[in-house]
């Protein structure tokens, strides 16, 4: 399943952007898509159509709250030769690290 | 007018990705949108709907050419308090630099 | 404290990059910096010098494992008017969402 | 030769960031590295040490001009199996497109 890491950066509204991020996240939740909030982004999992629709929607949030300019950064990771999801990706790296640390012991 | 800087990165196809980039660029041209090819990205100017449609389309290109995985990085810059386009953005920075260099002389 | 979201993308090594990510993460751990693994990136917290040093180091990992080409994407978020850390950023958004959901109830 | 696409985004200073971009570009010029200004980024070519030094330096620019927060986005493209530079990358794509258009004619 494709996943997208999204950061919406409002300009011209002061350095604190938490209220914009919270409103974006509310829309992500309403979309019903699986997501994970990270310290710097929101990672969303879904079909490409679903992802593009929600990115399009949250890019509008700061404008609707008064921002004159928005920079939105999106990184889409789309793998089609085998199934994958957000949990799997993290778990597979952690498992490798566990093995490696054991080897190093 | 919003603009988007787009980089499509095919994985699992060897280190040379020029043929993928060329095919993506062909689709951008066909879209009729204004664009600029840079050494690391393609910058596309258009409405958000136009931009999302063409990003969606070029993200598929490497798959259609056999790539098993694609990472697409997009940075959208959308300013609504005053008109702006790709040429203006570059010119305005260059003019400031010209002034500054003159000042420094 | 500045934080950086880092993604190291090896090209020319097949679509599976877990072993590269694991080795990068091992270096991050050794650095002693606080970090968080996300499904699409690693977020690292530290001084700018510390962050740049570790990004420089993990960018080399895929080469040392045989990759001919590496694309590394870094997003640095650096706020200096008030203290902030990775946990705080996530908590502050979640708290706003809690409030908002309560309001909506 | 590695190249880096860099965007420095100042927050808390209003929507117009041209003066920050101009000052960043002045530092890039002083570095003596080859660069290209695009509508959304500056692409810099140099050794990794040179690139990291200049990115580190321009990330500070908005702070020195009064910004309380800066988000800097960097995409490094580093290919080691064959020589490449900014001009070559653009030319090679354009040549492919020329061929393709000829084929289509």
Percent of chain A with pLDDT over 90: 87
3-state secondary structure A19-42: HHHHHHHHHHHHHCCEEEECCCCE
pLDDT of residue D11: 97
pLDDT of residue A98: 80
Pairing of the two strands D3-11 and D42-45:
antiparallel
Q: How confident is the model at residue A99 (pLDDT cuts 50, 70, 90)?
A: low
Mean pLDDT for A64-88 is 96
CA distances from C35 to C10, C57, D41 (A): 21, 15, 27
DSSP labels, A77-97 = EEE-SS---HHHHHHHHHHHH
Structure-model confidence comparison of residues A104 and C94, the more confident one? C94
> Which of C5, C6, C15, C72 to mutate to test binding with chain B, by most B CBs within 10 Å of its CB?
C15
C105, part of any domain: no
Residue A58 structural domain: 3-104
pLDDT of residue C16: 93
Mean pLDDT for A17-33 is 96
* Contact criterion met (CB below 8 Å) for A41 and B41: no
Q: What is the pLDDT of residues D4-58, one digit of tens each?
A: 999 999 999 999 999 999 999 999 999 999 999 999 999 999 999 999 999 999 9
Task: Give yes or no for residue A104 having a pLDDT over 70.
Answer: no
User: Is ipTM over 0.95?
Assistant: no
Tokens of A43: 């990672």
Residues 6+ positions from D82 with CB-CB distance below 8 Å: none
Structure-model confidence comparison of residues A101 and A24, the more confident one? A24
> Which of A37, A41, A93 to mutate to test binding with chain C, by most C CBs within 10 Å of its CB?
A93
Q: D48–C68: do the CB atoms touch at under 8 Å?
A: no
Residues of chain B contacting A56 with CB distance shorter than 8 Å: 48, 52
Residue B101, CB-side half-sphere exposure with 13 Å CA sphere:
12
Residues 6+ positions from D39 with CB-CB distance below 8 Å: B3, B5, B36, B43, B45, B86, B87, B89, B90
pLDDT of residue D98: 80
Q: Which residues of chain B have pLDDT under 70?
A: 99-105
Taking all residues of chain C, what is their mean pLDDT, rounded to a whole number? 92
Q: What is the pLDDT of residues A47-75, one digit of tens each?
A: 999 999 999 999 999 999 999 999 999 99
Give the CATH number for residue A97: 3.30.70.930
Tokens of D72: 């800097």
pLDDT of residue C99: 56
pLDDT of residue D103: 43
C97, part of any domain: no
Chains that touch C (3 or more CB pairs under 8 A): A, B, D
Nearest CA in chain C to B14: C12
| CA atoms of A70 and A60, how far apart (whole Å) | 8
pLDDT of residue D24: 97
E-strand stretches of chain C: 3-11, 34-37, 42-45, 69-79
Classify each residue of D76-94 as buried b or exposed e, where b means 16 or more C-beta atoms within 10 Å of its C-beta. Answer: bbbbeeeebebeebbebbe
pLDDT of residue B97: 86
Q: How confident is the model at residue A97 (pLDDT cuts 50, 70, 90)?
A: confident
Task: Give yes or no for residue C104 having a pLDDT over 60.
Answer: no
Q: What is the pLDDT of residues C11-61, one digit of tens each?
A: 999 999 999 999 999 999 999 999 999 999 999 999 999 999 999 999 999
For chain B, the domain total comes to 1
Task: Give yes or no for residue C105 having a pLDDT over 60.
Answer: no
C61, part of any domain: yes
| CA atoms of B82 and B68, how far apart (whole Å) | 42
């Amino acid at each position: 399943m494709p996943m997208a890491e999204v950061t919406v950066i409002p300009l011209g509204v002061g350095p604190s952007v938490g209220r914009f991020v919270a409103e974006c996240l509310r829309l992500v939740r309403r979309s019903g898509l699986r997501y994970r909030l990270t310290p710097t982004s929101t990672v969303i999992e879904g079909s490409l159509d679903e992802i593009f629709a929600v990115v399009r929607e949250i890019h509008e949030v700061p404008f609707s709250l008064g921002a004159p300019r928005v920079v939105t950064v999106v990184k889409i990771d789309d793998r089609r030769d085998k199934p994958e999801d957000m949990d799997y990706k993290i778990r597979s790296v952690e498992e490798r690290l566990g093995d490696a640390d054991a080897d190093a012991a």
